[in-house]
Amino acid sequence: DAKTTQPPSMDCAEGRAANLPCNHSTISGNEYVYWYRQIHSQGPQYIIHGLKNNETNEMASLIITEDRKSSTLILPHATLRDTAVYYCIVRVNSNYQLIWGAGTKLIIKP
């Protein structure tokens, strides 16, 4: 079973920051937090990952709480093309599989 809990859906206005929460209260010390997204009818796309420090790349920022029990993915200026299902996954590096939950369906509205 997935070790993460996400809201099933969220809306965000175009141009605004989209903040997607994820709870992973049973995360272990050696488990990373990964975020992927899946646009309709496409394969999942890697966004970002982190262990305990906040991370930023060209796509998004990842904020992990100090106790590592939750995290937030931030899309700073959402566009219509960011409409997708976003998955939060925790994974230890030695385990090759990704265990997926149902994700959050993010709808960007004009």
Partner 1 sequence: DAGVTQSPTHLIKTRGQQVTLRCSPKSGHDTVSWYQQALGQGPQFIFQYYEEEERQRGNFPDRFSGHQFPNYSSELNVNALLLGDSALYLCASSLAGGGSINYGYTFGSGTRLTVV
Residues that bind partner 1 (CB under 8 A): 2, 32, 34, 36, 41-46, 49, 87, 93-103
Q: 40 or 110, CB closer to partner 1?
A: 40
Q: How far is the CB of 60 from partner 1 (least distance, A)?
A: 13
In residues, how long is the chain?
A: 110
Are 87 and 37 spatial neighbours (Cβ–Cβ below 8 Å)? yes
Q: How far is the CB of 5 from partner 1 (least distance, A)?
A: 13
Question: How far from chain centre, in Å, is Cα 69?
Answer: 14
Q: 53 or 93, CB closer to partner 1?
A: 93
